[in-house]
Amino acid sequence: MAKPPKNAISPTRSENYPEWYQQVVKAADLAENSDVRGCMVIKPWGYAIWENIQRKLDVMFKATGHENAYFPLFIPMSFLEKEAEHVEGFAKECAVVTHHRLEPDPDGGLRPAASAELEEPLIVRPTSETIIGATFARWLNSYRDLPILINQWANVVRWELRTRMFLRTTEFLWQEGHTVHATEAEAIEETRLMLDVYAEFAEGTMAMPVIKGEKTEGERFPGAVATYSIEAMMQDRKALQAGTSHFLGQNFAKAQEIKFQDQSGQEVYAWTTSWGVSTRLIGGLIMTHSDDDGLVLPPKLAPAQVVILPIYRDDEQRSEVLQYCESLKADLTAERFDDEPVRVRIDDRDLRGGEKKWQWVKRGVPLRVEVGPRDVAAGKVFVARREIGGKGEPAERNAFVAGVAQLLSECQQTLFDRAFKAREEVTVSIDSLAEFEKYFTPKNADKQELHGGFAYCHFIDGPEMEAKLKELKVTARCVPLDGEEEPGKCIFTGQPSKRRGVFAKAY
C-alpha cells in the first residue's frame, strides 16, 4: 500500500481555512463550479447526502402533519410589490425573465426575440411566500379549512455577488414550509415547532450542535414579525445560520387577502408562517466535522456507512476474497441503523490499494473495512473508523457484523460530542465592550490566529450596537430561547438589559 501523505488535504485548516473548505468539497467529489456564474453542479456523492437530508427531514415534516405540494418556479413581478419589506429584501438579487423566445441574430447567433417580450416580467422564485400566499387565498374559505400545513421541495435563485459552494450559491435547493392558522398563538406555536424540528435534525442526524434563538430586528426575514434560527459553530469560529423559521403575523395575509370566515361568521385575516433549510446544510456539515484528510460524515447521513475494500494478488485470491466480501455485505445490510438497513458498498475497482483507501477517507465514509486472504482464512476483518482516524484494527467478522449498528452509533456520538466540546471551548460570556472588541480581534493577523467564537452578551438592539458590530464585522446571531432572564447592562450602550444575545463572526 502506498505510503499515505502527511495530510490528504492541502492546505490544512490552520493554514488556510477557506481554501481548505474548497479542497474538501473537491476531494470528496461533492460539487464543482458550473458554466453558469454562481451555480454549482452537485455531484453524485454530494447529491446522495442531500437525498438523505431530504428523506430524514421529510419524515419529520410528515410526522408533524405537513403535506408536500408544488408551486410555480415563476412569480409575476407585481406579486413582489405587494409586501413592502419583502420587495426590499429580494428585488435587488433576482433573476428576471423578460422574453419567451429566442430568434437568430444577424451574426448567426441567437438573441431574445423582441416580439416575444412578456407583458409582465417574471421573477425566478427567491422564496415563495407571495405565489403560495396567492394560492392559499384561493384555498381558504372557512375556519374548517385551517390549519393549512404545506411544504415544498424546490430550487430557488438569489443573485448573490460572492458565491461559495453550498454556503452561498445563486441557485440552491431547499425546502420551504408555508402554513396558515386561525390564531396568532397557533402560528407562533407552529413557528417554534418547526424550529425544534430543525434543531432535532441538526443535532440528532447531522451531529451538529445548534443554538435555537430569535433573530434581532436587523436580521429578520423581509416581511416577518419574528424570525427564529438555529445557529451552529464552525471550526474556524464563525457561526453558520443553518435554518430559519418565520412568524409572519398577518403581514402576508393582509398583503394577499388570506382571509376566512371564523366560527362566528366574521371574515378575518389569517396568520401565516414559513420555514426553510437548504443545501447550505451540507456546507455546515463539512465545516463542523471534516479534518485535514477530507470529509468526515456522520453515519446517519453517509451515502455509504461501510465501504469494503477487497485486497488480493491473483485471480484465485480474488474469487475467494470477493465471495467473503459479498457475504459480509449481505450480513451487514441485514443489520439496521437509524431505522434503515446499513448502507454498504464493495469497492472492487482496478485501482492501487492506497489510492482507493484515500478516496474513501477523503469522501468521509464512517467505516472502512479491508479484507485480504488472511482475514478470510481467520474469519476476520480489518476495520478503520474515519472519525477517529488512525490505521484501524482487526476484528472478528461475526462480532463486527453483530456490533455494526452500535459502532455506527458510537461514531455518530463521537462527532456530536467533539463538535459540542469545540463549540463550548470557543464560547464565552462577555460583560464589557473592551473585552468584546478584544475577543473578536485576532491577536496576530499574520499567523492567522483566530478571533473568538460565540460571545454571550447583554445588549439593547439599536443603532449604537449596529454601528459597533459593523465596525468589528461581528453579527448578532440570536437571542437564545433557553437563556434565562438575568439583570445586566448592554455592553454597547450601558442601558439595562434582561437577556443575553449571542454574537459571532458569521458566514
Contacts with its own copies by CB under 8 A lie at: 32, 34-36, 39-44, 47-48, 50-51, 67-81, 87, 91-103, 109-112, 121-124, 131, 134-135, 138, 150, 154-155, 157, 159, 171, 173
Min separation Cβ 492 and its own copies, Å:
34
Please answer whether residues 504 and 456 qualify as being in contact, where contact means their C-beta atoms are separated by less than 8 angstroms: no
* 159 versus 269: smaller Cβ distance to its own copies: 159
- Reduced to 3 states (helix: H, G, I; strand: E, B; else coil), residue 118 is strand
* 99 versus 385: smaller Cβ distance to its own copies: 99
* 74 versus 269: smaller Cβ distance to its own copies: 74
* 255 versus 411: smaller Cβ distance to its own copies: 255
Question: Nearest 5 degrees, angle CA 202-CA 283-CA 421?
Answer: 55
Sheet holding 239-247, edge to edge: 67-68, 148-157, 171-181, 271-278, 239-247, 226-233, 211-214, 475-480, 500-504, 454-458, 427-429
* 56 versus 500: smaller Cβ distance to its own copies: 56
Min separation Cβ 91 and its own copies, Å:
4
Min separation Cβ 173 and its own copies, Å:
7
Min separation Cβ 68 and its own copies, Å:
5
Closest-CA residue to 309 (of 350, 337, 343):
350
Min separation Cβ 431 and its own copies, Å:
43
**Number of C-beta neighbours around residue 253 at 10 A:** 24
- Reduced to 3 states (helix: H, G, I; strand: E, B; else coil), residue 436 is helix
Min separation Cβ 282 and its own copies, Å:
12
Bridge partner residues of 166 (DSSP): none
**Number of C-beta neighbours around residue 194 at 10 A:** 27
* 96 versus 399: smaller Cβ distance to its own copies: 96
Closest-CA residue to 218 (of 459, 496, 2):
459
Min separation Cβ 465 and its own copies, Å:
30
Per-residue HEC secondary structure of 348-376 comes to CCCCCHHHHHHHHHHHCCCEEEEECHHHH
* 302 versus 476: smaller Cβ distance to its own copies: 302
